[in-house]
Structure 1
Amino acid sequence: MNVAVEHISTDQPPDDSKARDLDYGWQTGNQVELLENGEAYFPRVFDAMRKAQREILLETFILFEDKVGHELQGILIEAAQRGVKVVASLDGFGCGELSAPFLKALADAGVMVQLFDPAAKTLGIRTNWFRRLHRKIVVVDGTVGFIGGINFSADHLGDFGPEAKQDYAVQVTGPAVADLHHFALAQSGRQVRARRGWRRRQQRPSPWPTDKGDGLVRLIYRDNLQHRNDIEEAYIHALSKAQERAVIANAYFFPGYRLLREIRNAARRGVNVQLIMQGQPDVLLAKLAARMLYDYLLKDGVVIHEYCQRPLHGKVALVDDDWATVGSSNLDPLSLALNLEANVLIRDRGFNQCLYERLQALAKNHCQTMPENRKPRLWLWRLTVGFLVFHVMRHFPALTGWLPAHKPRLKPFESHAHDV
């Protein structure tokens, strides 16, 4: 297949000067609803897309040609055919197995399909592993937004079987959707204009809102330019203020020293700190790396649960009774130092309590709790392997610098350039 594409770099900000350094502040008056797993997420987002009148913006790391992917494809085609502007930005690694006919059907209907850093296989192996578009965002008509960790694949549904993922997303309505919309447009490489009341901020917004009350939402993201540490800093800041409780449920847990220290310090000063980790990881290295940190945290009172019913894919956290975050970012070197990620911060007591109850039910009914004074079998072997894993993971982002340098790009798919 010969592909004619136009290259649009997304490591560099869009040309619009008002969108070059996007810092989004806290927005008041929002409604945020937790969506757990594909059973809650897919019907809600598909219904919003079916009702779209003007525009659908979609970013996803994974889209498979299964029952979920085919349903999404049909909805996007129908929307484009009735005149809705549809932009689908797909990661070239996570969506690397999509067939040309699948993409061509979308493009022929008028869907603007963009592939982030696609690459042909080398000796049957995909090599474009790093600096992925890992965000999962949908914005419909600029009035409703969805963000979280759920991809468009059937493995987010319970009927997929033992490998079905446990995951979370949120539906947002209210003023914060304008920021999601502005961000999604800018990151797609489209020309955007500053929305009314928005301007490029000369100083970073406070990680803690000055306003009080429920319905506060702030969009934060990670890129490889000015916003390399924003998500990690948000976790650190929230934990530093924790007084009563903190719960982190994260699929791939291997944060930097500063975040680890803040987790430990919170537990030391009496905060009830709970971590929900993967008990059945799809990547064994991830489990080995996370377990290397257990002793450091357990000895200071952090409670660690391992979710064992099925793979945990969530990326959520809460602090005290009103702060929470949901998004695409894991707490590992890939998400914190390489990938393009996006989360929302939420100050809302009702949402916080809902998330807390869901996570507590998960911990109580489907997790095993690590003993404080655990002494695993073959501990010397585990210590040796763990030591190596720890240092490989810790220096992993720097090691990737040895690879040939490249700038990941969005490549618009043009159906007329394909013979299928």
Structure 2
Amino acid sequence: MIGKHSASDPDFTSDQKIKLLSSGRAYFELLIRLIEHARENIQLQVYIYEPDETGQQVADALIRAAKRKVKVYILVDGYGSQGLKRSFFRQFRENGIHFRFFKPLFKSRDFYVGRRMHQKMLVVDAQYAIVTGINIGNRYNDKPGQPAWLDFGVYIAGEVAVWLCKWGWTTWRNFKRIKNAPCGPPLTAVDFGYDHIGTVRVRRNDWVRRKYEISDTYKAILGKAQTRVIILSSYFLPGYAVREDIKGARRRGVQVEVIVCSRMDVPLVKDAERFMYSWLLRQGVKIYEYSGNILHGKLATCDDEWMTIGSFNVNDLSARASIELNVDIKSKPFVREVTDKMEYIMSRKAMRVNADNFTQHNGWWHRLIQWFAFKFLRLIFFLGTFYIKQEDPRGN
């Protein structure tokens, strides 16, 4: 890892400028502002890029950058962005932008088999970066009568952006080794504002290359926590290993709180999630169902000391069948800010699941549906990334 390492952990780089980001108008304003100030190169990699108003606003900013002779590279997932028609992405290529789809292992007109590129990041001039769970599209933005899906990310200015630039090039080149990636930051910098100074490390999951760094982070959070763990996850289906880690944390007296969605864009997943509720409640885990618009965030905090944030959902699809990108952050003020936001969501924007009420209202028919949903999704996750194509695929 480049940069000034933390004395306690060589994977971490200290003295990074960081700022918590939330989905919505302010997020896209910063995204476009970063693009507009680019001088040398831009790397945008995202699971879903929607051809809607927000997608066009970002596209216009990227095209303006290309006309300033900035080298722009856009990589989107072949399944997640299948709604991106040729008529839309032609504008990229016509203006000198390098654009391509991340391809699966196998696909046909109706089926898709293989890993997803689920990571979401923007790197500008190897100097500024965003790592997030937020895709490009109206549903992640604030529109009249349509609040953004709840999601989070982090803005980073510092040497970690050089590392992310190199990772972006590795992904763009289909994971071929690159000796001289163009990732030297400019000599001058622009101050985009930051709230904290933190120690940061980049974490990846990629089952093809046997990288399970984010999974290891979650194991460390649950295994080392002394008092409290908060997990916000949009598709919370923990596998056996994570369930054992949760059980171990609870045995040590650690308070474990999980924030999930009360409703989803994919109802089958919500049924599968609720199948897990009985087990979680027996362990003493506090479950909160977010009652606002769709919850899409992915993060976890540990004792107000450190945390992880990015594209990783707590399920086997993210753990074993996707390319995921998170950053771990050590900064008490930053983690305190995140914890405060999570506490606000739990107290004002969510309903806690009561064990007695859940058991009373979750009859045998509901339990059967939930069991089937859980087993079906576990099978799909075990087989790998497999989709039956839909007309309007939803983000995750």
Give the stretch that moved more between structures: 244-253 or 92-101. 92-101
Gaps of 5+ in 1: 1-23, 199-212, 404-420
Q: Report which structure shows greater RCO (CA 8 Å, sep ≥6).
A: 1
Check conservation: 2:116, 2:385, Cα contact below 8 A: no
After alignment, is 138-147 or 26-35 more displaced? Answer: 26-35
Q: Is the CA contact 2:114–2:385 (under 8 Å) kept in the aligned structure 1? A: no
- Deviation (angstroms), 1:299: 1.8
- What is the root-mean-square deviation in Å for CA atoms of aligned residues? 2.6
Residue 231 of structure 1: CA displacement? Answer: 1.4
Alpha-carbon deviations, 1:139-179, whole Å to 9, x = none?
Answer: 00000000110011011123264573110111011121111
Q: Take 1:45 and 1:331, find their aligned partners in 2: how far apart are those partners?
A: 26
Q: Distance in 1 between matches of 2:339 and 2:181?
A: 34
- Partner of residue 60, structure 2: 74
- Separation (CA, whole Å) in 1 of partners of 2:115 and 2:260: 24
Match of 2:4? none
Runs of 4+ aligned residues of structure 1 deviating over 6 Å after TM superposition are 118-121
CA contact (8 A) 1:87 1:113 kept: yes
Q: 1:378 to 1:175 in 2, by over 3 A?
A: closer
| Residues 124-139 of structure 1: pairs in structure 2 closer than 5 A | 126-128=110-112, 130-139=114-123
Superposed, 1:367-378 pairs within 5 Å as 367-373=350-356, 374-377=358-361
Residues 97, 174 of structure 1: CA spacing in aligned structure 2 closer, same or farther, 3 A cutoff?
same
SS of the equivalent of 2:117 reads coil
Alignment of structure 1 residues 141-180 onto 2, 5 Å: 141-159=125-143, 161=145, 164-180=148-164
Q: Deviations over 1:190-242 (max 9, x none)?
A: 8733689x9xxxxxxxxxxxxxx961111111113233422112101111000
Cα–Cα, structure 1 residues 92 and 163, in superposed 2: closer, same or farther, change >3 Å?
farther
Aligned match of 2:349: 366
1:383 aligns with 2:367: yes
**Of 215, 237, 247, which residue of structure 2 is paired with 1:264?**
247
Moved more, 319-328 or 183-192: 183-192
How far 1:121 moved relative to its partner?
Answer: 7.0
Aligned match of 1:288: 271
One-letter code aligned to 1:251:
S
TM-score (norm 1): 0.81
The correspondence of residues 92-111 of structure 1 with structure 2, limited to 5 A, is 92-111=78-97
Cα gap change, 1:335 to 1:182, in 2 (>3 Å): same
Q: Cα offset for 1:386? A: 2.5
Q: What is the identity percentage for the equivalent residue pairs of Structure 1 and Structure 2?
A: 29
Count of residue correspondences: 364
Aligned equivalents of 2:332, 2:197: Cα separation in 1: 6
Name the TM-score, length of structure 2 as normaliser.
0.86
Shift of 1:116: 1.3
CA 164–402 in structure 1, closer or farther in 2 if over 3 Å, else same = closer
1:331-378 per-residue CA deviation (whole Å, 9 max, x = no partner) reads: 122211111111111111111011111111111111110013331435
Q: 1: distance between equivalents of 2:351 and 2:248? A: 24
- Please tell me the residue identity of whatever aligns with 1:149: G
CA drift at 1:81 = 1.2
Counterpart Cα distance in 1 of 2:146 and 2:286: 26
Is 1:398 aligned to 2:382, yes or no?
Answer: yes
1:317 aligns with 2:303: no
Corresponding residue for 1:223? Answer: 206
Structure 2: gaps (5+ residues)? 1-9, 185-195, 388-396
Aligned residues of 2:205 and 2:324 also touching (Cα < 8 A):
yes
Displacement of 1:95 in angstroms is 1.5
SS in 2 for 1:62: coil
Contact 2:50 2:136 in 1 (8 A): yes
Residue 253 of structure 1 is matched in structure 2 by 236
The one-letter code sitting in structure 2 at the alignment partner of 1:285 is: L
Q: What does residue 114 of structure 1 align with? A: 100
